[in-house]
Structure 1
Amino acid sequence: METGASNTLKPTLNVWHMWGLAVGLVISGEYFGWSYGWDKAGTLGFMVTSVMIAVMYTTFIFSFTELTTSIPHAGGPFAYARRAFGDKAAFIAGFATLVEFVFAPPAIAMAIGAYLNVQFPGVDVKVMAAGAYVIFIGLNIIGVRIAATFELFVTILAILELLVFMGVVSPAFSVANFVAHGWSGQDGFSVAAIPGIVAAIPFAIWFFLAIEGVAMAAEEAENPKRTVPVAYIAGILTLVVLAMGVMVFAGGTGDWKALSNINDPLPQAMKLVVGANSGWLHMLVWIGLFGLIASFHGIILGYSRQIFALARAGYMPQYFAAVHPKFKTPHRAIIAGGIVGVAAIFSDDLISFGGQTLTANLITMAVFGAIVMYIISMLSLFALRKNEPNMSRPFPAMVYPLFPAIALILAAISLVTMIYYNQLLAELFVALMAIAYGYFLLTKHHRDAAIDNQQIPVVG
């Protein structure tokens, strides 16, 4: 670690910053990714999937706030699992969270490139995606308050743009368009539609993926016991309304099949209504970029804090626990995740398999990490309730134990079905975890020697 650097983060974020981060981390999911679910389940089938996943996320967030306010730590789920179960569970939670937050940004970067390609057909999508990494890695290094203020600004613009999109396409909305062949290509529901509904789970999760990243900024929040729960609850309610609205209005504009399996469904939906040369379309492309940028930028913040926290506690090389002496940000962790993301963007042959596009596989991989992390987090909540009944809980889980149990059960169902429908990616996930676990076994002395500034006790 360089001279003058420390491994302590500075609390500078207010409640608006945290709400902006909660929504901004996720809002790109309203702009792209979800329409791949239409290809699996149809519009009506995917609506069923989306409602189920919305229930899972709502109950999860109303439970997760107990953990984030009780243990405000940059490691988020890794820290909760460590306190509840010890080192091995912390490793699994940390690895899963890292996979989620490292594989999601290249998918979003590819969508940024696709949106720019709509405006400038000659640009290379992958070059634009890599360029996005360079710009926003730099912004994240400069300072967390600057980064969070920018995040709040672009998130508000992104929300307004989604509302404008719904308003512009509403005159062309038709229920008949939305329901046509809405059950996995069929006009009526049958048992044959169920596999598609289940296979679409990763893309419904993409509507809400990464909202838990707010927990990784908890050390940098002013009064996290107040700001974190407000951000989470207001954030999830905002996202549920936007997700359902965007999906319904886009699906009712024309032939929804033309919008599935693409990275820019909203511009293409608007093109069906106003034409390719409309000013509304150009506005959607330019302002719509803010939605993608908000999530891309926010998730860079999230993965960097996860790498930083794991390194600080001895689960990754201590090299990544350095904080920039001037900007007080984990600059090495920010750059490391970016290198992995850019490599993924240019790894079509490696990641484009199983009949899915590169973007779809990146989304599915990120979702694997998220679901594993959700399961461990809810198990940690139950364990801490049992083992540490007197622990300070500024914001207890609502409707306990029902809400945490619903979130846990739905997450477990999602994981089982995802493994069944994505066996190659599941094997890749397990292989990466096995490699990481080998490092974990060889570096126990690093964890023993690490100074964890949050002083979270290790169980077991």
Structure 2
Amino acid sequence: MADIASTQPKGASLNLLKVLGPVHVWALGVGIVLVGEFMGWNYAVGKGGAFGALIAAWVIGLLYTCVAMIDSEVTSTVAAAGGQYAQAKHTIGPLMAFNVGLYLVLAYTMLEAADVQVAGLLVQIGVNRLNPAEPLGIYGPDTDHFWWAFTVFTLVSLAWLNYRGVFMTLTVNFIITAAAFASILILFFGTLFSTALGHADAALLHHDLLTPLPYGWIGVIAALHFGIWYYLGIEGTCQAAEEVRSPGRALPLGTMTGIITLLIAAALTWYIACGLLPWEYVGWDLELAPLYDAAKIINWPTMEIILFIGTLFSAIASANGCINDAARAWFSMGRDRYLPAWFGAVHPRYRTPFRAIIFLIPIAAIFALKVPLAQIITFSILSGLLNYTFMPINIWLFRKYWPVGTIRRGFEHPFHPIPAIVLLVLCITTMFAVYLGYGRQLLAMMAFYWIVSLWFHLFRYKYVRRADQFTMNWPKPQGY
């Protein structure tokens, strides 16, 4: 029982600051995800061809629209740090909440690792362009260690920013995310009006470059795996629930405008990359940044610089948001004693979950420096998929226990239960798509979650105070 006796670390009784508005929620959600428009999505082209990747982008866009709608309702009502983890405590119970918390932490930590790896490799590519006489390996962790320094520097700098305060963190994220999104728009309009601007090399050649589905419809299903990368992380807006000034307004507005932004960005990204580059090259396993490469081939130095900065900003913004979200989920689990309560401390000056922030950084660094990008992306996708599969169950139980009208909701998503049914079907289909390409990783992840669930049941559950789990002032659930 020594753990319980020591479960009030210094600062644990402090609360997180309520300083965020809708713009910060948008910056958190879109900032985490926008890097997917600059890299990672293109692996879907390798699975299903250019048209297969486009179909996957819209199908997975529907999946995430359902996620955004469901999250907007539940999170604006359960306004607590931890997002879906906090929801699971109220609707299902401790074991499910523990697993959902881990889904969130691993999804964001792996995404963070992918982001900083891309940032490091991109800087190395930039150095190669400036010093062509001294080429360095640019395609992965097994080629050269030059990029390690910038990767570690990025992680440490962003950890410091998150340590110092959420308002400054997400204000910075808004600025660099807006700049990254603007670079996509500049490339799109620049290529669209290339002839008028005197750059014939920038002409879009969809008719010449695209082919029918090279691998048939099974390729389209396989492409769903990496189609997720266009949107993975938008659900991270839930992690800001305890720090927004008006959850009922800020969370739905920030989340729904975020998914609209990403749907537009996904369409523009596909249109540009697959109109300037052969689809075989776009879908190549070693293709790191297709939009940046598209800007390089049009012989327009200004556009190349803009896309280099945009790609770098998108990776940094995503890693910044991931540190924020992973730390909030880990902090919430520590505060509720699902993990050692030492992690549940709030910094007395900056009012941030500083121990959770610091603890997760080395884990991200190890994966960023040692694991290939496609595998890191897959680990993040798998954890995200497990979280999305929980959401239909969550909203069904939420509506069953507290029907519309019994408690105040910040947002009521329409057409229930159609979004939940669509989300569940698409999650199962995408799980199959992941199994086609990464069956071993899928089975290994499932085994991992079974093992940690057993550990929680046998060794950790005894420290959880069940009476403290229900933090919302709601009436008794219907049926009880």
* The two structures share one fold, judged by TM-score above 0.5: yes
Shift in Å, 1:392 = 2.6
Shift in Å, 1:134 = 0.7
Shift in Å, 1:429 = 0.9
Moved more, 283-292 or 300-309: 283-292
Once residues 307 and 429 of structure 1 are traced to their aligned partners in structure 2, the CA distance between those partners, rounded to angstroms, is 19
User: Partner of 2:363 in structure 1?
Assistant: 340
Once residues 24 and 12 of structure 1 are traced to their aligned partners in structure 2, the CA distance between those partners, rounded to angstroms, is 18
- Alignment of 1:75 onto 2:92: no
- Alignment of 1:440 onto 2:456: yes
2:169 counterpart (147, 150, 162): 147
User: Partner of 1:64 in structure 2?
Assistant: 71
User: Partner of 2:213 in structure 1?
Assistant: 183
* Counterparts in 2 of 1:8 and 1:157: CA distance versus 1, 3 Å: same
* Counterparts in 2 of 1:311 and 1:333: CA distance versus 1, 3 Å: same
2:401 counterpart (387, 396, 402): 387
Moved more, 37-46 or 284-293: 284-293
Q: Tell me which stretches of 4 or more aligned residues in structure 1 moved more than 6 Å.
A: 456-460
User: Partner of 2:141 in structure 1?
Assistant: none
8 Å contact 2:31–2:321 — kept in the other structure?
A: yes
Once residues 280 and 175 of structure 1 are traced to their aligned partners in structure 2, the CA distance between those partners, rounded to angstroms, is 20
Once residues 410 and 115 of structure 2 are traced to their aligned partners in structure 1, the CA distance between those partners, rounded to angstroms, is 34
Moved more, 152-161 or 411-420: 411-420
| TM-score relative to the length of structure 1 | 0.91
Shift in Å, 1:168 = 2.9
User: Partner of 1:454 in structure 2?
Assistant: 471
5 Å-filtered alignment, 1:78-157, equals 78-121=85-128, 122=136, 124-157=146-179
- Alignment of 1:169 onto 2:194: no
User: Partner of 2:380 in structure 1?
Assistant: 366
* Counterparts in 2 of 1:449 and 1:325: CA distance versus 1, 3 Å: farther
* Counterparts in 2 of 1:317 and 1:3: CA distance versus 1, 3 Å: closer
Once residues 218 and 334 of structure 2 are traced to their aligned partners in structure 1, the CA distance between those partners, rounded to angstroms, is 41
Q: For 1:269-327, what per-residue CA distance to the aligned partner results, in whole angstroms no more than 9, with x for missing partners?
A: 1111126xx23212321233111111111111110101011111121121111111111
Once residues 462 and 122 of structure 2 are traced to their aligned partners in structure 1, the CA distance between those partners, rounded to angstroms, is 47
User: Partner of 1:206 in structure 2?
Assistant: 229
Moved more, 194-203 or 39-48: 194-203
CA RMSD of aligned residues (A): 2.1
2:424 counterpart (373, 385, 408): 408
8 Å contact 2:65–2:259 — kept in the other structure?
A: yes
* Counterparts in 2 of 1:154 and 1:8: CA distance versus 1, 3 Å: same
Taking every aligned residue pair, what percent have the same amino acid on both sides?
26
Once residues 380 and 181 of structure 2 are traced to their aligned partners in structure 1, the CA distance between those partners, rounded to angstroms, is 24
8 Å contact 1:118–1:285 — kept in the other structure?
A: no
- Alignment of 1:33 onto 2:33: no
Once residues 382 and 449 of structure 1 are traced to their aligned partners in structure 2, the CA distance between those partners, rounded to angstroms, is 22
In the alignment of these two chains, the number of paired residues is: 441
- Alignment of 1:325 onto 2:348: yes
5 Å-filtered alignment, 1:212-291, equals 212-260=235-283, 261=285, 262-274=287-299, 278-291=301-314
Shift in Å, 1:9 = 1.1
SS in 1 for 2:446: helix
| TM-score relative to the length of structure 2 | 0.87
Once residues 104 and 161 of structure 2 are traced to their aligned partners in structure 1, the CA distance between those partners, rounded to angstroms, is 22
Where structure 2 has 5 or more consecutive residues not aligned to the other structure, the ranges are 1-7, 129-135, 137-144, 195-202
Once residues 372 and 294 of structure 1 are traced to their aligned partners in structure 2, the CA distance between those partners, rounded to angstroms, is 24
Q: For 1:38-94, what per-residue CA distance to the aligned partner results, in whole angstroms no more than 9, with x for missing partners?
A: 111110111111111111111221222111111011111112122111112212212
Moved more, 208-217 or 312-321: 312-321
User: Partner of 1:354 in structure 2?
Assistant: none
User: Partner of 2:180 in structure 1?
Assistant: 158
Once residues 363 and 324 of structure 2 are traced to their aligned partners in structure 1, the CA distance between those partners, rounded to angstroms, is 15
